[in-house]
Structures are given as C-alpha cells and as structure tokens.
Chain A
Amino acid sequence: MTGRKWFYHVLTSALRQRKGRVAVAVLSVGIASTVVVSAVGLSSGIRRLLGGELKAYGANMIVSKKGGHIDAAMLDALKGIAGIEEFSPQLYSPVSLNGLPVGPDGQVEMIGMTGAHSLNVSGRFPGEGEVLIGADLRAGLGLKTGDSVKLGGSVMTVSGFVETGGPEDKAVILPLPSAQRLTGLEGKISAVLIRGRPGTLDETAKVIASVMPDADVKTLRQVAGAEESFLRKIELLLALVTVVVVGASAISVSSTMSATVLERLREIGLMKALGGTKKGIGRFYLMEAVIIGAGGGTAGFLTGFVSAQAVSKGAFGSYISMPVYLVPVSIVTGLVIAVAASALPLRAALIEKPSVVLRGE
C-alpha cells in the first residue's frame, strides 16, 4: 500500500468512526457559512428587493425640453438604458373643465399619460373618451364615477379619481393619445418622468443626455437622496448583523474544532513517539479540517441559499437571485474557519515534547 493510499485510509477511518463528532463540527462550520451566504446574498439583492417599496417615492428623474415639446419617437432610445426601471411620458396642457372657473384663470391642467404608474387611483385608469379627476376638483364639482364632464370641446366620462397630495389633485388625467389629439400635439410630449435605479442616477442621467441631446435631464435630488440614504442604512444594518453573527459563529466553531484536536492529544503524542514529524502528523489533522470546512461550507451554501430565499419571500414577496460567487465564498469561509480553528491547538501540540503530549497535557 502506498503512503498516499494509507494516508487517505486513515483519514476516512477517522471520519467514518467519529461520525458524531465530525457531524457536530460540519454543522458548526455550516452554521457560520449559512449566515455568511444568507446575509451577503440578501445584501447584494437588497437594492432590487427594496426597489418595489421605493417606487412609492415616485419618479426621481425628469426629462423635458426648454420651450418646446419632445418628439415621442425619442422614447425608444430610453428603452435600452440599464439604469431606468420605468418611465412615464406625459403631456401637460391647460384645459377648461365644464366651462367653470375652477382654476385661477378658469382652467385646469390636463395631464396625458400612458398608465397609472404609482398614482393612487380609485376607479380605473381611463380609456378612450374617459378621464380621471383630481381629488380637489372632485370635491369642488361634486363628481362621481360615470358622470360626464366637458373637457375643452369634448364630452368625457369620469372613470375614477386620483389623490396624490400633489399637483395631480388639481388636474384631470387622460390617456396620452387622447390628450395629444385634444391639444393637437400628436407625437409630442412635454416631459418624461423616470424611475431610475437608486445609486446610479448620475450615470443614468449622462446616458440619457447622450441619447437625447436636445433634452434637459434633471435628477430630483430630494427623492434620490432619501432613497440612497435609506438603502445605505439597510445595507449597513445587514453588514453589521453579518459581522456580529459571523464573529459569534466563528468563536463557536473555533471551540468545537479546538475540542476535536484537544481530545486527540494522546493520539498526536503517540504519532510523535512513533517517529512522525510535525509536518507528517499535522497533515492528518489539517486535511480532516479541510474536509470538515469544505463540507460545512457546501452545506452552508445550500442552507444559506434556502434561508435567504425564505427571508426574501417572507419580507419582500419575491425570491432573490443569489450571486454565483457565493458558492466559493461559502466554501472558503468554511475552510478558513475550520483550518484556522484547528491550526492553533494543533501547533501547540506539535511543538510540545512527546512525553508531555502523551500525558494529555
């Protein structure tokens, strides 16, 4: 039998015959890796996960054209830009409502848009010949769903109402094509409200400016700043929790791994008495630690993956896509913890005189 074969024979015998101890060590390493995988996985996906929640903040960028309208055909250029989560082309125009003096100059603002987006609509978004009424106008005119209103020269049916606490409450909203036809501005829009991905707004603004050179691109700093601040706090919290829990797990793993070496001190002493060198003896125990670390790291990735998905689904209602690099990260975490925890007591045993180690001291 070759030395290498014999080495692996002893190693597998040690693992097989000490199943309980090995299982505890693998479990211990696995818990630490689970924490790392789930925390890092959640951290890396937290921006995407919270994206849905942050949409309540509304648009964080606006594209317009000074003293004119944007050609709607330019919107195609926005579709391929990575930092844009969604956008809403809008057409603004003053219009008279039921011929009544509801605004300062007897007119209200008409907003043409392609969908409700983040608007809080009671009823439904209007179709052809329909209109949404802002909450303030509704109260002033005593309107209800299904009523007819005269918008400029056209009669339209009220499909619902909108309340935002903003300028939309004093406006009427209708589908963009209807608004374009009503104003005679077919193929034109006043502005594009953009929901850009937090943290990438400046880069996204530059890209938009490059594809729409005539447009004026503005970042809504107040909204963007609030989002970024919120995300940073969440990421910091996750990072702190990860560090604390991994630290606590590492201490627990260290004591487990140290115990597996310390309980085998006499074994190490015997090998020294039989003429084993430090390197030759250490190889047995370090390789065992490598196997335990790799096993724990692999198990930790699987359980970390499952627990991150469970947390993501439970808290945010959607599953998370885990970065592939977490597989090696988890295994390396397990290896480092297991080997480092074994190396210290092993080194202490190996540098001691065999007579002392044989006594189990």
Chain B
Amino acid sequence: MELIEIKGVYKEYETAVALRGVDLVVGSGTWCSVVGPSGSGKSTLLNIIGGLDSPTKGQVFVDGADLGALSEDALARFRRERIGFVFQQSYLIPYLSSVDNVMLAQYFHSMPDRLEAEEALRRVGLAHRLGHRPGELSGGEQQRVCIARALINSPRLLLADEPTGNLDRENTRLMLELLKRLHEEERFTIILVTHDPYVSKWAQRIVTMEDGKVIKDEPLYY
C-alpha cells in the first residue's frame, strides 16, 4: 500500500528552481533515505511532503490526502495527525523542559498527557532528563527529545531532515539505532534526508537527487 505518491512536482523560486518534475512513490512502513549534493532539492521535497511548503506544479498525495486541495487549517490538521518532523537543528522551545516540549505536540494534537510524554522520553533513553531544558542537554539528547516529540502522536510518517547533521559519529549511531528500533516496533514510514552515506545506508531504500530531479532509486536490504 502506498503512503506517498508524488506526481510531476516542480518548485520554482524567483531566482532558482528547486524541483524539476519529481515523481516518487513510497510504500507504507518503508524507511527511505533521500540523498544528494547540497542544493539538489532534498529538503524542499521533504517540506512539500510534510505540507510545510507547496509545489509550484504537480500533485502530492500523502496517506490518501491531496495536499494541494487542503485549506490552511486542514493542512495544519494533516501535519499534527499524520506527520512527525525531526530537523537538523533541534528546534526545541528553549524555555520549556524536555517533557514540556514533547507535550507541546500533544497540545496541538489533542490533549497534553504528562505521563505519556514522560514514557516517550524514557523510550528514547531520557528518563533522567525529563525536567531539563534544551540548554542543559547535549546535541544528541536534544535530537532524542525531538524524536520523542515527533512520535508522541503516533504519526504514519516521520520526516527527518539531516537529523544527524550536528552529531558526532557515536551519537549518530545511537540515534540511528534508536530510530531503527522504534521503526521496527511501530512500523511508521520514514523519509530521511541526508548527505551522509553512513546514515543513508540504514534505510531500506535510497533515492538520489541531483539538480531537482530523482536520478537514482534503489532498494537496500539489511
């Protein structure tokens, strides 16, 4: 069953073209890495799949929803109910504790539940950091809070944009192991943008982009 279906997507800015007719289909439960050089359109594609940006031309279907047909409020609902985001920068609210940052996603989704948020942080190995604010956490710990926040509402799709870009190799490995475990347990779909070959190889499928186009699409097997 397909979770994502992208048909002829273009994204043009005033001074540049980021995507030039991208077609892509991703099945439910797949871990797919999107790789390519800087400026190849990886992050733009991810933003469009997540409803953070809109294409200039083409159609995007995610979990049955035609994103181009959704109103602004419906798009917000789509994001909170079906998508979890992890970015290269942690984007945590600096004045909230780890557990409060996770509860923020619950607040926009339905109802904040402290016990559930604490459990989500325990699952990513942060049981001892529940009350710490982002400034008191290491980069790896911050990204684990972001993973807990992204998955707290049980999304069907996790979109990760260079999530290990600011981490050293050991923390990168720990984070990928965590993602792998959670992916195996919950079977959500992952689209992970990276330029790091080590990171891309944890996926089941690698899509390579260059100059706004998909130039290679190959499956990997563990």
Residues of chain A whose beta carbon lies under 8 Å from any beta carbon of chain B: 1-3, 6-7, 9-10, 13-14, 16-18, 266-267, 269-278, 280, 353-356, 358
A-B contact pairs, 17 of them (CB 8 A): A1-B111, A3-B107, A9-B100, A10-B96, A10-B104, A271-B108, A272-B52, A272-B76, A272-B79, A273-B85, A274-B79, A274-B108, A275-B81, A276-B76, A278-B72, A354-B53, A355-B53
Taking CB atoms, residues of chain A closer than 8 Å to B89 are 266
Using A10-B104, A269-B91, A353-B52 as known contacts, list a sample of 16 further A-B pairs with CB atoms less than 8 Å apart, ordered by residue number in A.
A1-B103, A3-B107, A6-B103, A13-B95, A13-B100, A267-B93, A271-B108, A272-B76, A275-B81, A275-B83, A275-B108, A277-B73, A278-B72, A353-B54, A355-B53, A358-B91
Expressed in whole angstroms, the minimum distance between the Cβ of B131 and any Cβ of chain A is 12
Taking CB atoms, residues of chain A closer than 8 Å to B91 are 266, 269-270, 273, 358
Residues B77 and A275 in contact, CB atoms below 8 Å apart: yes
Taking CB atoms, residues of chain B closer than 8 Å to A274 are 79-80, 85, 104-105, 108, 149
Q: Mark B125-139, 1 if CB is under 8 A from A, else 0.
A: 000000001000000
B201 at the interface (CB under 8 A from A): no
Expressed in whole angstroms, the minimum distance between the Cβ of B126 and any Cβ of chain A is 19
Taking CB atoms, residues of chain B closer than 8 Å to A276 are 76, 80, 108
B109 at the interface (CB under 8 A from A): yes
Residues A17 and B53 in contact, CB atoms below 8 Å apart: no
Residues B93 and A270 in contact, CB atoms below 8 Å apart: yes
Partner of A3 from the list B72, B93, B112 (CB cut-off 8 Å) is B112
Taking CB atoms, residues of chain A closer than 8 Å to B85 are 273-274
Taking CB atoms, residues of chain B closer than 8 Å to A275 are 76-81, 83, 105, 108-109
B113 at the interface (CB under 8 A from A): yes
Residues A6 and B53 in contact, CB atoms below 8 Å apart: no
Taking CB atoms, residues of chain A closer than 8 Å to B114 are 1
Closest to A280 in B: B108
Partner of A14 from the list B79, B95, B109, B112 (CB cut-off 8 Å) is B95
Closest to A269 in B: B91
User: What's the Cα separation between A271 and B108 when bound, in Å?
Assistant: 8
Q: Compute the total of residue contacts between A and B using a CB distance below 8 Å.
A: 81
Q: Mark B93-123, 1 if CB is under 8 A from A, else 0.
A: 1111000100111011101111000000000
Residues B76 and A1 in contact, CB atoms below 8 Å apart: no
Closest to A14 in B: B95
Residues A1 and B105 in contact, CB atoms below 8 Å apart: no
User: What's the Cα separation between A73 and B109 when bound, in Å?
Assistant: 84
B28 at the interface (CB under 8 A from A): no
Taking CB atoms, residues of chain A closer than 8 Å to B204 are none
Expressed in whole angstroms, the minimum distance between the Cβ of A27 and any Cβ of chain B is 20
Given contacts A273-B79, A353-B53, A355-B52, contact A6 B107 (CB under 8 A): yes
Closest to A17 in B: B95
User: What's the Cα separation between A277 and B75 when bound, in Å?
Assistant: 9
Expressed in whole angstroms, the minimum distance between the Cβ of A346 and any Cβ of chain B is 16
Expressed in whole angstroms, the minimum distance between the Cβ of A254 and any Cβ of chain B is 24
Expressed in whole angstroms, the minimum distance between the Cβ of A4 and any Cβ of chain B is 10
B47 at the interface (CB under 8 A from A): yes
B50 at the interface (CB under 8 A from A): yes
User: What's the Cα separation between A358 and B77 when bound, in Å?
Assistant: 18
User: What's the Cα separation between A272 and B87 when bound, in Å?
Assistant: 14
Expressed in whole angstroms, the minimum distance between the Cβ of B124 and any Cβ of chain A is 17
User: What's the Cα separation between A275 and B85 when bound, in Å?
Assistant: 11
- Please provide the 7 A-B residue pairs with the shortest distance between their CB atoms, ordered closest to farther: A275-B80, A17-B95, A355-B53, A355-B52, A275-B79, A6-B112, A354-B52
Taking CB atoms, residues of chain A closer than 8 Å to B76 are 272, 275-277
Expressed in whole angstroms, the minimum distance between the Cβ of B134 and any Cβ of chain A is 11
Taking CB atoms, residues of chain A closer than 8 Å to B133 are 17
Residues B95 and A271 in contact, CB atoms below 8 Å apart: no
Closest to A357 in B: B52
User: What's the Cα separation between A17 and B77 when bound, in Å?
Assistant: 30
Given contacts A271-B108, A278-B72, A358-B87, contact A18 B52 (CB under 8 A): no
Closest to B111 in A: A3
Taking CB atoms, residues of chain B closer than 8 Å to A272 are 52, 76, 79
Taking CB atoms, residues of chain A closer than 8 Å to B47 are 355
User: What's the Cα separation between A275 and B79 when bound, in Å?
Assistant: 5
Closest to B153 in A: A275
Taking CB atoms, residues of chain A closer than 8 Å to B52 are 272-273, 353-355, 358
Taking CB atoms, residues of chain A closer than 8 Å to B50 are 273
Residues B112 and A1 in contact, CB atoms below 8 Å apart: yes
Expressed in whole angstroms, the minimum distance between the Cβ of B1 and any Cβ of chain A is 24
Residues B95 and A18 in contact, CB atoms below 8 Å apart: yes
Taking CB atoms, residues of chain B closer than 8 Å to A270 are 91, 93
Expressed in whole angstroms, the minimum distance between the Cβ of A283 and any Cβ of chain B is 11
User: What's the Cα separation between A267 and B93 when bound, in Å?
Assistant: 6
